[in-house]
Structure 1
Amino acid sequence: MTRALFIIDVQNDFTEGGALGVDGGAAVAAGITRLLTQHRGDYELVVASRDWHSADDDNGGHFAVDTEPDFVDTWPPHCVAGTAGAEYHADLDTSGIDVHIRKGQGVPAYSIFEGTDDAGDSVTEALVARGITEIDVVGLATDYCVRASVLDAVEHGQHVRIFTDLVAGVAAESSAAALAELGHSGAVIAESSVLDEAAQ
């Protein structure tokens, strides 16, 4: 088995009521839990990422401190290390996750490939160690961290699927554009029901 699941940034600050909450975020968390309940055995490796920003600086300009955020390159403070906003959403069952990646520690970071686990190892090292060649991607937000993670996975030579029923984005237009871009990059745009079909 050479398939991995990437769960991108399913955190309180990116779900409804959070600092940068997206509509449908909580439903994505619950949907990923259902996926893991039914299909954990389909994956050799499950990796989850979290933004884990520093509290005492602007994280390399990522946080808008003295100006209004532009919601493109600068953002309100979010997912500050050690706060409730940085924790996984309660509807995401984390018991099936093998590797936890933290990213954005003092710097802007969107892709899961920009982070490390507690031991300082990268996602790339985890993929190589297990011979992963295929990755399914779910999580938040479609038009930012999901997009960046998929593009990097494709760049690393992985065969990538993004499950459109298990992602949610900041805005409809930019999310649609992101999915189109990811499709053109070589990623397969699908729904998680393909796992049920494959099992039949």
Structure 2
Amino acid sequence: MARALLIVDVQNDFTEGGALGVTGGTAVAEGVTAYLRGNTRRYDLVLASRDWHDPEGSNGGHFADGLPDYIDTWPRHCVAGTPGADYHPAIDTALVDVHVRKGQGVPAYSLFEGTTDDGSSAGAVLSAHGVTEVDVVGIATDHCVRASALDAIEHGLHVRVLTDLVAGVAPDPSTTALAEIVRQGGELMESAAVGDR
């Protein structure tokens, strides 16, 4: 039995000043690194995802042709190889064991839809390391954090979302997303309480 930390999409385009920046994104980036530095022995694996969209085309309709609806279509963001797709500079990537890229030509929200540089799926990597429990942090609570946590539950993993280390696009959908995760069997807790459980 092993535990992993899943860091979801803490990228420049999803933090303040980015193409789809959310309020609190920079604080999440800083908080995740501080938390991980204080808890490196708690995790057997640290996996981080990034949106990594193709520069050409709509990425399967993910990029809006005209006005985005912010549900299924979005402004251009996290285009492969651009600064917006980079991890936020507050993320200490030396603490990350496995990097996952998702949304390469297609819409993708969950970390489990991505692949590593060698083409492995996130699920396969976690399984190969014997991971049975995951803590989830990152951006955005109401979109990619939600999708990643629910997919982790579908993969049979015990899931905890660290609520002080996530940031959402909007308060009401974020609250709804967290409630859905709990209904599906996940837990919510603050990072300061992790040492007690």
Which category describes the TM-score, using the shorter chain as reference length?
A: over 0.9
Matches within 5 A, 1:1-16: 2-16=2-16
Query: What SS does the aligned partner of 1:120 have?
Result: coil
Matched, 1:183 2:182: yes
8 Å contact from structure 1 (residues 39, 195) kept in 2 = no
Report the Cα distance in structure 1 between the residues aligned to 2:36 and 2:94, rounded to whole angstroms.
Answer: 9
Identify the residue that residue 142 of structure 1 maps to in structure 2: 141
Matches within 5 A, 1:1-200: 2-65=2-65, 67-198=66-197
Query: What SS does the aligned partner of 1:167 have?
Result: strand
The residue type paired with residue 44 of structure 1 is D
Report the Cα distance in structure 1 between the residues aligned to 2:196 and 2:91, rounded to whole angstroms.
Answer: 24
RMSD value over aligned CA atoms? 0.8
| Identity rate, percent | 62
8 Å contact from structure 1 (residues 165, 192) kept in 2 = yes
The alpha carbon displacement at 1:83 in A equals 0.2
The alpha carbon displacement at 1:40 in A equals 1.1
Q: 124-133 vs 76-85, which deviates more?
A: 124-133
The residue type paired with residue 188 of structure 1 is E
8 Å contact from structure 1 (residues 12, 89) kept in 2 = yes
Q: How many residues align?
A: 197
Gaps of 5+ in 2: none
The residue type paired with residue 160 of structure 1 is V
The residue type paired with residue 41 of structure 1 is R
The alpha carbon displacement at 1:196 in A equals 3.4
Query: What SS does the aligned partner of 2:21 have?
Result: coil
Gaps of 5+ in 1: none
The residue type paired with residue 107 of structure 2 is P
The alpha carbon displacement at 1:128 in A equals 1.2
TM-score (norm 2): 0.98
Report the Cα distance in structure 2 between the residues aligned to 1:161 and 1:174, rounded to whole angstroms.
Answer: 19
The residue type paired with residue 49 of structure 2 is S
Query: What SS does the aligned partner of 2:108 have?
Result: coil
TM-score (norm 1): 0.97
